[in-house]
Structure 1
Amino acid sequence: MSKNPGAEVVDGRRLRSERSRLAIVEAALALQEEGVLVPTAQQISDRAGVGIRSFFRHFEDMETLFEAADDQIRGSYEALFLGGDREGTLAERIDHAVDRHADAYESVSNIVLGTHALLWRYEILRKNYARNQRGLRKDLDDWLPELKAAPREQREAIYAISSFEMWHRLRYHQGLSKKSSSSIVKNLLKSQIAGDPRMVPDASAE
């Protein structure tokens, strides 16, 4: 017989509460991944199998839910951009970087689009989006340290070419395949960099 049945009741309630909270977060993410870019509290509650009142006991508003969702998946989506083969010539590293980013953008597309749709409304999304943009720039600088020699306008052009927004335009608005979109981004980056001798190794010095 338990020495403290009251504690077991409290622990049981806490576990149920934690499971409900997790179910709500996972439901919101699943809906976005399926194309419901801006799910409502009711849609999320229905998907999670909890009542709407339970939803608002866990999250006082949608912004706190989005913050919790980002906390849960941040490590997984950041990992999509990390790693990869970062050795080789400049052209090879451009190819590797674009391929890595293309796979990542395909994976997080609906989550990013849902964020875009609500940036005007929620400060936490603007904060998280700005943090992610800084991370993407830093990661591209790691792929291509030659960027340090480029003037600001050229670096900004390269960041824009490498962005999710560029990728989404090619894939969605222009209806291009993943392969064609990757080829366009690679060629644009190479043409930007090739035009600046400060970023291209001097073959005569080898």
Structure 2
Amino acid sequence: MPKPRQHTDGRVARGERTREAIVAAHTALLLEGVLKPTGQAIADRAEVSVRTLWANFKDLEALLNETTAYWMAADDELRRPVDPSDPLDDRIATYCAERGRRLEHIAPAARSAALGEPFSPALKRSREAHIRRLRSEIETVFGRELEAAGPQDRDALTYALIAATGWPNWQLLRDDYELSPDQIVAVMSKTCHALLDPFG
């Protein structure tokens, strides 16, 4: 005899809440600078058993799939449209300020991901998605200048902007040179002006 639907729905809802709690716990540990949280640490933070953790996520890769989706959604929430018709100075200022907010937010996850990327398809896919997003945003915001650069210089200019405003450059200046976020945004802005002003 089939069980009442409401009981099934209740179990599904509890299961979703448990999974959300586990992802939130994993995320919180990354935000605190724990680069490689153990299953026990994640379970403790989520207030579940390790058995429950791995019953909901069959392995670490499954958990990483959920966690990287969380970070991508969080990045979506921080995105602010930059009007491509605005003057170049305004676009650079808005774009670099936004990149600064987003890169500083994603930094804990990016540092952790760097340790696991060689072994994790989920982390590789996440990095590739962020790279595609970065290029798409640059081509949208600075499309006029890229077009003005002409086919010979367009790709080089695009890659230079990617390098100037991407995560590796942010990490170098933040971690190795210990610059503040505002200082790095200023560096990015100056670099973007140097690259784009000749075509503006």
Q: What's the TM-score once normalised by structure 2's chain length?
A: 0.87
Distance in 1 between the 2:71 and 2:188 partners?
Answer: 27
Q: State the one-letter code of the partner of 1:165.
A: P
Q: Which runs of 5+ in 2 are unaligned?
A: none
SS of corresponding position for 1:60: coil
Shift of 1:5: 7.2
Distance in 1 between the 2:166 and 2:110 partners?
Answer: 12
Q: Deviations over 1:127-183 (max 9, x none)?
A: 121011101111122111122343222321121001121112112210112222111
Question: Which position in structure 2 is the counterpart of 1:203?
Answer: none
Distance in 1 between the 2:77 and 2:125 partners?
Answer: 19
Q: CA contact under 8 A between 1:161 and 1:185: conserved in structure 2?
A: yes
Q: CA contact under 8 A between 1:141 and 1:148: conserved in structure 2?
A: no
Q: CA contact under 8 A between 1:29 and 1:69: conserved in structure 2?
A: yes
- Structure 1 181/63 Cα, relative in aligned 2: closer, same or farther at 3 Å? same
Which structure dedicates a bigger proportion of its chain to helix? 2
**How many residue pairs are counted as aligned between the two chains?**
194
Tell which structure's C-alpha radius of gyration is larger: 1
- Structure 1 140/154 Cα, relative in aligned 2: closer, same or farther at 3 Å? closer
- Structure 1 6/35 Cα, relative in aligned 2: closer, same or farther at 3 Å? same
Asked if residue 115 in structure 1 is aligned to residue 118 in structure 2, the reply is no
Give the fraction of aligned pairs with identical amino acids, expressed as a percent: 26
- Picking from 56, 67, 92, the partner of 1:94 is 92
SS of corresponding position for 1:82: coil
Q: CA contact under 8 A between 1:82 and 1:139: conserved in structure 2?
A: no
Q: What's the TM-score once normalised by structure 1's chain length?
A: 0.85
Which structure ranks higher in relative contact order (CA pairs < 8 Å, sequence separation ≥ 6)? 2
Shift of 1:66: 0.9
Question: Which position in structure 1 is the counterpart of 2:185?
Answer: 182
Asked if residue 61 in structure 1 is aligned to residue 53 in structure 2, the reply is no
Shift of 1:36: 0.8
Question: Which position in structure 2 is the counterpart of 1:163?
Answer: 166
